[in-house]
């Protein structure tokens, strides 16, 4: 009953005209960046982060969240029609989605993708509503040792799932921690690694780092190749899947939803890993696995449901523990902090309007997305024809503006350009930026909790092992760190490794 | 990979250089941590986490170097094989030039040439389209920010914009 009252209160906030407008902008921009290959939700969220400063925290977070789950919807359109994933979570959708489009079944592929996403997104929200308050009440008992171990686990999981060498991913995470510690020490107020520059006293901003590593670097990488697009030109008709399509897709949507939701909660997990896991599961369960790769609708329905459910699940650790499980959530944490709100176990009780308003806005956002992605599909197809040689300079212009507006400081533009160049060379020699960004956000919190734990326990390192939650997190982290030394474990890691941790 | 693209202890092994840069950074972080005061285990100082993170960086960098020496790694050339490497280099050069010009010239006078350069450099857009876009996009953004949102953009020594 209390939950229903809270949801009602949330809808009261989410249905305010200004919040509806922000929600619409969020899901629209999310679909847009999902549709356009080369720009992901991370770039878009960092670009729009400064805009949220002018409104209330509710409006800002509603818009940012909308971009995230909106991009999950939009990403499938490009995968199905162009065979280029709009964003990382839609890589799997290319396999069967584009084959369906080639066979003249683009409509049902797009339809099942949007409807499956809607069902999964709605389930994830209901689960978020039920799980988050209970978990938050448990999380109140968490001490600095538990927080430290959870953050270590999050970083290790992300490095484990990052494509390529784990040593490289761990090195990136360490660099991220160091970058996060630049500026005044929160305990002693001593400047660290500032090289005498006043601009560095407050540390490096998240926006220029992310915009550089993901926005500018992405453009630089894309300029290397002549992007060719094989857009399906045939008119898209019959978007609603038929009875047989529904029969084939019901199981994959159900399984993908549950799998995606739980993988989304895990630190370091997220939409990408859940879509891959769902595809693998459906192929394994299928009586006709040979259809996969040749236009099986289950290969579209399962992963699309999974990545949307994961997007909802990822809000749980952020909202209840204040720990972002992936880079997108790290940006959302940045948005909370910019507005003076600290997500964590007390947020639901201290800021119920904010929490329930965001949850309610996601319901509304999911409905908006269904409208945007089904009847308006033609508009997105037209957008796919926008030439990249015009789009890329515009992206660079907007990143410059976005970074400048976030701080009114030209120094941040220099930082962004520097990180853009570093990010480009990093990617070229096989160093992924995702662990760096997550560690950059977690670094100060990780340090703070480590030092607090050591001070409270008077230097007794057993404090991390004596507390059960902390011990379990550290044990899993150790397994993931040592595991890749075993050949069979290493093979499994390579199978699930992601291109980007987002 | 062929012998041309996968080399062990050769100077053009990109993995080796990645590891060496990581090692240098790690050593610098260790040194910075030491300089900032480590403190004790029951009262960690400002350099405590930096020092140990730097040590971890060195360990991971050494692992990368050892792997590069024993298993080999791709050459720099192979990393850019079949890529139009001049394009990103030209974009980087334009961005660096822009960063030097932004403060003295101001937003408008530095962004309009940057846009024109990018529009012509990436995959050349015809002049009749490139010039209007290069002019209108920064002007539009400038107008929205300055007039509607009242955000002060750098106007440079000439105070234009």
pLDDT along chain A (502 residues), means of 10: 81 91 90 75 74 79 87 81 71 85 86 90 87 79 87 84 83 94 89 90 87 85 74 68 90 93 75 82 86 89 90 86 82 83 83 87 88 80 78 86 79 92 92 86 89 90 90 90 74 58 39
Residue B155 belongs to some domain of the structure: no
Chain A residues with CB-CB distance to B137 below 8 A? 393-394, 397
Domains: count for chain B: 2
Non-local (6+) Cβ contacts of A190 within 8 A are: A184, B36, B37, B46
Q: pLDDT digits over B51-73, tens only?
A: 999 999 999 999 999 998 888 88
Residue B158 belongs to some domain of the structure: no
Instruction: Please tell me which residue of chain B has the smallest CA distance to A410.
Output: B103
Contact A54 B56 (CB under 8 A): no
Same domain, B69 and B132: no
Q: List the structure tokens of B79.
A: 């990393």
User: Residue A192: in which H helix or E strand, if any?
Assistant: strand A191-192
Confidence of residue B2 (pLDDT cuts 50, 70, 90): very low
Non-local (6+) Cβ contacts of A149 within 8 A are: A464, A469, A470, A471, A473, A474, A477
Chain A residues with CB-CB distance to B83 below 8 A? 224-225
pLDDT of residue A455: 92
pLDDT of residue B3: 47
Distance CA A297, CA A210 (A): 36
Instruction: Please tell me which residue of chain B has the smallest CA distance to A224.
Output: B84
Residue B115 belongs to some domain of the structure: yes
Contact A389 B119 (CB under 8 A): yes
pLDDT of residue A86: 65
Confidence of residue B95 (pLDDT cuts 50, 70, 90): very high
Distance CA B159, CA A412 (A): 21
Distance CA A168, CA B126 (A): 42
Same domain, B44 and B63: yes
Q: How far is CA B48 from CA A313, A409, A438, A449, in A?
A: 35, 31, 21, 13
Residue B161 belongs to some domain of the structure: no
Contact A174 B141 (CB under 8 A): no
**Is residue B148 pLDDT above 80, yes or no?**
no
**Is residue B8 pLDDT above 80, yes or no?**
no
Same domain, B64 and B91: no
Q: What is the pTM of this model?
A: 0.79
The dihedrals phi and psi of A461, each to the nearest 5 degrees, come to -70, -20
* Partners of A192 in the β-ladder: A183
Distance CA A498, CA A273 (A): 7
Residue B156 belongs to some domain of the structure: no
Distance CA B19, CA A255 (A): 42
Nearest to A120 by CA among A301, A374, A331: A301
Contact B88 A168 (CB under 8 A): no
pLDDT of residue A300: 92
Same domain, B109 and B72: no
pLDDT of residue A450: 93
Contact A168 B26 (CB under 8 A): no
* CA distance to partner chain B, nearest, from residue A73 (Å): 29
DSSP3 helix / strand / coil % (chain A, rounded to 5): 75, 0, 25
Same domain, B53 and B103: no
Nearest to A267 by CA among A467, A480, A118: A480
Same domain, B58 and B112: no
Nearest to A151 by CA among A325, A315, A401: A325
Residue at a domain's end among B45, B80, B115: B80
Same domain, B37 and B55: yes
Of B49, B56, B87, the CB nearest to A181: B49
Residue B119 belongs to some domain of the structure: yes
Show the domain range for B141. 86-148
* CA distance to partner chain B, nearest, from residue A294 (Å): 30
Q: Where are the beta strands (DSSP E) in chain B?
A: 6-7, 39-40, 43-44, 73-74
Residue B103 belongs to some domain of the structure: yes
Is the distance from CB of A132 to CB of A346 less than 8 angstroms? no
Locus of tokens 């990093």: A426
Chain B residues with CB-CB distance to A51 below 8 A? none
Strands A191-192 and B6-7: unpaired
pLDDT of residue A157: 81
Of A174, A410, A429, the CB nearest to B18: A429
pLDDT of residue A501: 39
Residue at a domain's end among B30, B64, B80: B80
Same domain, B28 and B66: yes
Residue at a domain's end among B55, B80, B105: B80
Q: pLDDT digits over B20-37, tens only?
A: 999 999 999 999 999 998
Contact B60 A167 (CB under 8 A): yes
* CA distance to partner chain A, nearest, from residue B17 (Å): 10
Residue B59 belongs to some domain of the structure: yes
Same domain, B76 and B90: no
Same domain, B48 and B91: no
Supply the ipTM of this predicted assembly.
0.90
* CA distance to partner chain A, nearest, from residue B160 (Å): 16
Is the distance from CB of B89 to CB of B54 less than 8 angstroms? no
Contact B67 A219 (CB under 8 A): no
Same domain, B125 and B100: yes
Nearest to A397 by CA among B85, B95, B122: B95
Same domain, B67 and B115: no
Contact B125 A387 (CB under 8 A): yes
């Amino acid at each position: 009953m209390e939950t229903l009252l809270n949801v009602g209160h949330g809808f009261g906030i989410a249905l305010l005209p200004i919040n509806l407008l922000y929600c619409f902008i969020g899901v629209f921009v999310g679909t847009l960046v999902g549709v356009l290959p080369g720009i992901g939700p991370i770039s878009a969220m960092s670009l729009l982060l400064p805009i949220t400063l002018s409104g209330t925290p509710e409006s800002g977070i509603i818009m940012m969240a909308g971009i995230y789950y909106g991009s999950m919807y939009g990403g499938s359109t490009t995968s199905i029609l162009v065979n280029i994933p709009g964003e990382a979570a839609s890589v799997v959708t290319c396999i069967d989605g584009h084959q369906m489009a080639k066979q003249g079944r683009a409509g049902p592929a797009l339809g099942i993708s949007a409807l499956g996403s809607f069902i999964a997104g709605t389930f994830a929200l209901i689960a978020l509503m039920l799980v988050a308050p209970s978990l938050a009440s448990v999380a109140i008992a968490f001490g600095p040792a538990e927080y430290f171990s959870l953050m270590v686990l999050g970083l290790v999981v992300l490095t484990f799932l990052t494509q390529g060498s784990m040593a490289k991913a761990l090195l990136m995470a360490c660099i991220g921690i160091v970058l996060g510690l630049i500026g005044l020490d929160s305990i002693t107020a001593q400047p660290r690694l500032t090289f005498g520059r006043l601009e560095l006293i407050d540390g490096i901003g998240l926006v220029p780092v992310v915009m550089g590593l993901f926005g500018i670097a992405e453009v630089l990488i894309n300029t290397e190749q002549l992007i060719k697009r094989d857009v399906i030109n045939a008119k898209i008709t019959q978007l609603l899947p038929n009875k047989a399509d529904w029969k084939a897709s019901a199981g994959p949507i159900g399984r993908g939803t549950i799998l995606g939701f739980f993988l989304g909660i895990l630190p370091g997990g997220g939409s990408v890993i859940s879509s891959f896991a769902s595809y693998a599961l459906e192929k394994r369960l299928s009586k006709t696995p040979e259809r996969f790769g040749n236009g099986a609708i289950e290969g579209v329905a399962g992963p699309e449901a999974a990545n949307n459910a994961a997007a909802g699940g990822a809000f749980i650790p952020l909202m209840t523990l204040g720990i972002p499980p992936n880079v997108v959530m790290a940006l959302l944490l940045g948005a909370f902090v910019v507005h003076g709100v600290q997500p964590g176990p007390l947020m639901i009780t201290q800021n119920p309007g904010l929490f329930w308003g965001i949850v309610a806005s996601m319901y509304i956002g999911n409905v908006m997305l269904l409208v945007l992605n089904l009847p308006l599909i033609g508009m997105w197809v037209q957008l796919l024809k926008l030439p990249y040689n015009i789009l890329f300079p515009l992206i660079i212009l907007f990143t410059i503006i976005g970074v400048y507006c976030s701080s009114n400081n030209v120094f941040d533009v220099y930082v962004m350009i520097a990180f853009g160049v570093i990010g480009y060379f990093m990617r070229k020699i096989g160093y992924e930026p995702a662990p760096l960004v997550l560690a950059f956000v977690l670094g100060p919190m990780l340090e703070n909790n480590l030092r607090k734990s050591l001070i409270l326990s008077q230097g007794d390192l057993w404090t991390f092992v004596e507390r059960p939650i902390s011990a379990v997190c550290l044990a899993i982290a150790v397994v993931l760190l040592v595991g890749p030394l075993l050949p069979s474990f290493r093979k499994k890691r390579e199978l699930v490794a992601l291109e980007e941790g987002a | 990979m062929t012998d041309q693209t996968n080399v062990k202890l050769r100077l053009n092994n990109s993995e080796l250089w990645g590891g060496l840069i990581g090692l240098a950074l790690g050593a610098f972080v260790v040194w910075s941590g030491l300089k900032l005061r480590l403190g004790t285990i029951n009262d960690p100082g400002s350099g405590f986490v930096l020092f140990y993170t730097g040590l971890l960086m060195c360990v991971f960098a050494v692992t990368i170097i050892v792997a590069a020496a024993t298993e080999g790694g791709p050459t720099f050339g192979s990393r850019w094989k079949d890529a139009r490497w001049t394009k990103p280099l030209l974009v980087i050069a334009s961005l660096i030039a822009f960063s030097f010009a932004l403060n003295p010239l101001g937003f408008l006078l530095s962004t309009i040439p940057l846009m024109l350069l990018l529009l012509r450099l990436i995959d050349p857009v015809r002049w009749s389209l490139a010039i209007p876009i290069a002019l209108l996009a920064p002007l539009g953004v400038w107008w929205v920010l300055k007039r509607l949102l009242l955000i002060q953009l750098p106007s440079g020594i000439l105070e234009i914009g």
